[in-house]
Amino acid sequence: MRITDLIDKKSINLNLKSKNKLDVIDELVELMYGSGNLKNKEEYKKAILAREELSTTGIGEGIAIPHAKTTAVKKASLSIGISKDGIDYEAFDGSLANLFFMIAAPDGANNTHLEVLARLSTILMDEEFRAKLINANSKDEFLDLINQKEIEKFPEEYEKEEIKLENDAVEIKEEIQEEIELKYPKVLAVTACPTGIAHTFMAAESLNKTANQKGVSIKVETNGSSGAKNILTNEEIEHANCIIIAADKNVDMARFNGKKVIITKVANGIHKADELIDKAVKGEAPIYHSSSYTKNSNEDLIEEEGALRKIYKNLMNGVSNMLPFVVAGGILIALSFLFDNYEIDPANFGKNTPIAAYLNMIGGYAFDFMLPVLAGYIAFSIADRPALVVGFVGGIIAKEGGAGFLGALIAGFLAGYLVIGLKKLFSSLPQALEGIKPILLFPLLGTFIISLLMTFIVMPPVVALNNGMTNFLMGLGGSSRLLLGIVVGAMMAVDMGGPVNKAAYVFGIAALEAGQFEVMAAVMAGGMVPPLAIALATTFFKNRFTEEERKSGIVNYVMGLSFITEGAIPFAAADPIHVIPACVVGSGIAGALSMLFGSALRAPHGGIFVIPVISNPIGYLIAICVGSVVGMILLSILKKPIDK
């Protein structure tokens, strides 16, 4: 689709009168309405403002491309404005905008607005071309400049049009379709897990492998801990038959508007890849709608996602964003003890020497962010950006008031649903006040209300509960501590990265925040055992495993030593009846022995790399080794030799 095909001369203004962002939006909407392309001007403007709430469409370099896809639009079209003096459109690079292209797309137009957005971004990269547009003396000259630039940038499209005039239209359509099928993957996928370490990439590998076996072209985007990789392009999304979203945290869904989408758990991307690929190829999926007005129509997209799963996803969004602060802060604080001298002042251990004091201080700064970030990103997961500040404030109140980890959890969920309530409350405000909601009403009222709720309702019982739990943990001794070690260690191996595993890990972090460092040590020991037990079994009992499993087993040494329990998942998925019980017993024993030896861990991650900062490191290594060997032996007993 050419850009010039979407432009009516009536919708061009080469000399805008506007001086600010809202005025230029009004002026461009009027141009669009004047060209006869809108059914409802106010509804279209509302959609434009809603998109601006998400993030500014001022893309920098003097360009702004506001856009909306809504039922208020009759057909895809553009309105264009030029301001020679420039207007502040809140661009990311701080530049004033001179060129404005407002895109209107009807609701059923697939990703027309994204295609136009991509084409505009491509041709407007040329600074000399932008200058010619700004200084165009007439609308005809302006349109001719764009037309010539499109021919220059997309010559293949014009060649195809010439062939189409000379040959049979049906044959050309078939050729183009074949080219599309060869160029673009039939199935797209996005994988994501809360930590973005193991499940994300295992699901991607499973989907890729299954699709290749079936002869289906696929591209998988991974939303890992270091950011999104192999990102899906607008063109790929447009031509895809179906998109699979295998994720346990929120991903960018707006780009899939109007496409067939399957939304499921990341675990299904690993274990049910065959079923998901078949559904995607057949197109057995509903159409996804990103507009909030059609939110209810997306309910059937989500497999097995009830209220508890939504709560779990919101919680994991908070935990995954909090984790880097906890890991960095915890390891730095642990290092402060390693570089200190206990004999100088036992009561000030960790801060006696200058280097220890500095490490302790920096680690403490990182730790201070833990609860506010947890609450803030739980709220963000529930109600998007307007809830972030409300969650942060609730989290800091929980931290300073002694409500701890549990208080921050409650604050995050309260803040998210509070902002949802405020959105509904202010939904009937006049359109002119739309812009002040996210920057004034939501943060101001949300912060005030969350502070009242936390101070007078949440804090008193939670502080009392925290004190009771701390006293209970402090009072545990002998067999009670061993039992606690068995429980948290075994939980780490039950589903190896799933909800039970994460529940034990979150409990370990809560205990860490409460000063119970032995619990975190038992949790990590229990999480290291499953991949290590499997690695040992594939080394010493090779006849129980296939050649491919033996090769994968070697990788589990690294996964286990790095405290990545998910390395055991492929083995557990292939043979859960034999693998899981052996790992659970081994992990439980490791957790119990860690408690018995009094090993304490001040960092919530790190595996073998933080052994030097664990109290009684020799005992801790013994606990892990014994648990891994027991798991290996049980696995060799439960699994029978494979018939050659």
Strand 242-247 versus strand 187-192 pairing type: parallel
Tokens of 406: 């549990």
Q: Given this model, what pLDDT does residue 298 score?
A: 45
CA pair distance 322, 370, nearest whole angstrom: 6
CA pair distance 184, 196, nearest whole angstrom: 26
Query: Vertex 347, ends 341 and 350: CA angle to 5°?
Result: 45
Higher pLDDT, 414 or 299: 414
Q: Given this model, what pLDDT does residue 469 score?
A: 61
> Which amino acid is it at 225?
S
Contact in structure between 394 and 405 (CB atoms under 8 Å): no
Residue 349's Cβ-side half-sphere holds a number of Cα atoms within 13 Å equal to: 8
Strand partners, 100: 64, 81
User: Of 143-157, 359-373, 501-515, 581-595, which has the strongest mean pLDDT?
Assistant: 581-595
Strand partners, 189: 220, 244
DSSP category for residue 621 = H
**Position 411 confidence tier, pLDDT thresholds 50, 70, 90:** very high
Q: Given this model, what pLDDT does residue 297 score?
A: 42
Q: Given this model, what pLDDT does residue 603 score?
A: 74
The CATH homologous superfamily for domain 184-305 is: Response regulator (3.40.50.2300)
Contact in structure between 559 and 530 (CB atoms under 8 Å): no
Tokens of 517: 């460092």
Strand 77-87 versus strand 97-106 pairing type: antiparallel
What's the predicted TM-score (pTM) here?
Answer: 0.53
DSSP category for residue 378 = H
Three-state DSSP at 201 gives helix
Q: Given this model, what pLDDT does residue 300 score?
A: 45
| In the chain, where the domains are located | 4-159, 184-305, 309-474, 479-638
**Position 463 confidence tier, pLDDT thresholds 50, 70, 90:** confident
Q: Is the pLDDT of residue 185 over 50?
A: yes
Kindly report, residue by residue over 523-533, the tens digit of the pLDDT.
999 999 999 99
Angstrom CA distances, 398 to 256, 391, 637, stand at 38, 10, 49
Q: Report the run of H or E that residue 242 belongs to, with start and end.
A: strand 242-247
Q: Minimal CA–CA distance to 254: which of 113, 124, 121, 376?
A: 113
CA pair distance 596, 611, nearest whole angstrom: 17
Across residues 20-36, what is the average pLDDT? Answer: 91
The mean pLDDT of the chain is 83
DSSP category for residue 109 = S
In terms of CATH architecture, what is 4-159?
Answer: 3-Layer(aba) Sandwich (3.40)
Contact in structure between 95 and 60 (CB atoms under 8 Å): yes
Kindly report, residue by residue over 189-234, the tens digit of the pLDDT.
999 876 666 678 888 888 998 998 988 889 999 987 667 888 999 8
Q: Minimal CA–CA distance to 584: which of 517, 529, 502, 514?
A: 529
CA pair distance 521, 319, nearest whole angstrom: 19
Supply the residues annotated as catalytic: 67, 193
DSSP category for residue 611 = G
Across residues 365-382, what is the average pLDDT? Answer: 89
Kindly report, residue by residue over 244-300, the tens digit of the pLDDT.
999 887 788 888 988 999 988 888 888 889 999 999 998 888 888 875 433 444 444
Kindly report, residue by residue over 544-574, the tens digit of the pLDDT.
888 777 887 888 888 788 787 877 877 876 6
Tell me how far the alpha carbon of residue 123 is from its chain's centroid: 31
